[in-house]
Structure 1
Amino acid sequence: MVREGADARGRMVAGAADMIRRRGLAATSVRELAAHSGTPLGSTYHYFPRGKQQLAAEAVRFAGVVVGHGLAEELRAGPVAGLRAFLREWRRTVIDSDFRAGCPVLAVAVEEPPRDGASEALAAAAEVLTGWQELLAASLREHGAEPARAARLAALVVASVEGTVALCRAQRDIGPLDDVTVELEVLLRSAVGGAGN
């Protein structure tokens, strides 16, 4: 029974991440999230008593862990290799979804927060984006980049990738992501003295 509950909860979180990356948070209802994950609507409120914001926050963190784990693995070979893998993953996401899916973290980050100003999902998006930046910055420092520049470049990489994924979806063209890949590689190589593959 515990296993079944964990599976249902996990399906809801993964399903929410998928729907948010395709439709955004505001355009996705709790009822649709439950249906998409194949779980009863009542289960949603059982596992996520704070409602849609709680589910969205967990979906964003789930996406952050999945991408962050892959990024951390690839960064072992250096910041340029990590960058390539990061961009390759987003390229695959956009192409495999026929330009219908982007990043659930960005989708949550760009939507208007609730009127009371509190947004559990937005706070989760900030945590995830910061975590990705910290992974990249640490790899750049480890491979010889000056600490302040490493932090700036990490922010530039995350912002560029997130923005370019949105651009590719809007234009239905993967070219902008490929162009940004080339330019970001040049910047990262210059920061680590040509090393850091």
Structure 2
Amino acid sequence: MSQREPRSRERIIIGAADLIRRRGLAGSTVRDLAAHSGAPLGSTYHYFPRGKQQLAAEAVRFAGDLATRVLERELEAGPVAGLRAFLALWRQTVIDSDFTAGCPVLAVAVEEPPDDADPEAIKAAAEVFTAWEGLLSASLRDRGAAPEEAARLATLVVAAVEGSVAMCRAKRDIRPLDDIAAQLETLIDAAVTT
């Protein structure tokens, strides 16, 4: 395999993640995803022979891995530090895009799955959400939260952050994301100090 192949494939994935976070999966054809990444359509089908669902699943995993790495690094300092980093990541995404981009994982997760195909991209979104919840839950448990409470709180954090990102985009205002920050920190502090 030449050095160019991984870069071309990765460029297509990065471009797909960006377009999906802006337009959603239903609003993007394979041709759109290829064009957005600057790749020829033929190359896109070469790397992703199963088509749009395969490319979207890889784009979701790519975006999920970026956020996962941020969480893993920051959670070493505790769940509040992880929360702050997670919030900062999405805050930057929304602001830097002038409220035109959100989370590609959420964008794929809320779309109606295709009738005639395996919803590979939706499965990838579920895997990413589960990974984020698992990291947060483990950090909460490590700091003394009861296992059941840690799992519920981790789900709440992911759902609140993802939902507030969507609200920020709709309102063209960062306030929803800022509003949940203090509330989630309070809940985390209560869970780890009990």
Q: TM-score, with normalisation over the residues of structure 1? A: 0.97
The one-letter code sitting in structure 1 at the alignment partner of 2:133 is: Q
Q: Which runs of 5+ in 2 are unaligned?
A: none
Secondary structure at the aligned position of 1:114 is classed as coil
Q: TM-score, with normalisation over the residues of structure 2? A: 0.98
| Number of the residue aligned with 1:84 | 84
State the shift of 1:8 in Å.
0.4
Q: Residues 85-123 of structure 1, C-alpha deviation per residue, up to 9 Å, x if partnerless?
A: 100110010001000000000000000001136200000
Describe how 1:55-66 pairs up with structure 2 within 5 A. 55-66=55-66
State the shift of 1:36 in Å.
1.1
| Number of the residue aligned with 1:144 | 144
Aligned length: 194
Describe how 1:28-177 pairs up with structure 2 within 5 A. 28-116=28-116, 118-177=118-177
Secondary structure at the aligned position of 1:2 is classed as coil
CA distance in 1, matches of 2:113, 2:16: 18
CA distance in 2, matches of 1:125, 1:176: 23
Secondary structure at the aligned position of 1:192 is classed as helix
CA distance in 1, matches of 2:116, 2:7: 33
| Number of the residue aligned with 2:187 | 187
CA distance in 2, matches of 1:23, 1:2: 32
CA distance in 1, matches of 2:159, 2:131: 13
Bigger drift between 167-176 and 108-117 goes to: 108-117
CA distance in 2, matches of 1:35, 1:122: 23
State the shift of 1:33 in Å.
1.0
The one-letter code sitting in structure 2 at the alignment partner of 1:147 is: P
Q: Residues 3-60 of structure 1, C-alpha deviation per residue, up to 9 Å, x if partnerless?
A: 1011000000010000000000000111111111111110011000000000000000
Of all paired residues, the percent bearing the same amino acid is 68
CA distance in 1, matches of 2:123, 2:158: 17
CA distance in 2, matches of 1:190, 1:180: 15
Secondary structure at the aligned position of 2:25 is classed as coil
Q: Which runs of 5+ in 1 are unaligned?
A: none
The one-letter code sitting in structure 2 at the alignment partner of 1:146 is: A
Secondary structure at the aligned position of 1:128 is classed as helix
CA distance in 2, matches of 1:149, 1:119: 31
The one-letter code sitting in structure 2 at the alignment partner of 1:51 is: G
CA distance in 2, matches of 1:11, 1:91: 24
CA distance in 1, matches of 2:18, 2:181: 25
Q: Which runs of 4+ in 1 moved over 2 A?
A: none
Q: Residues 167-194 of structure 1, C-alpha deviation per residue, up to 9 Å, x if partnerless?
A: 0100011011101001000000000018
| Number of the residue aligned with 1:18 | 18
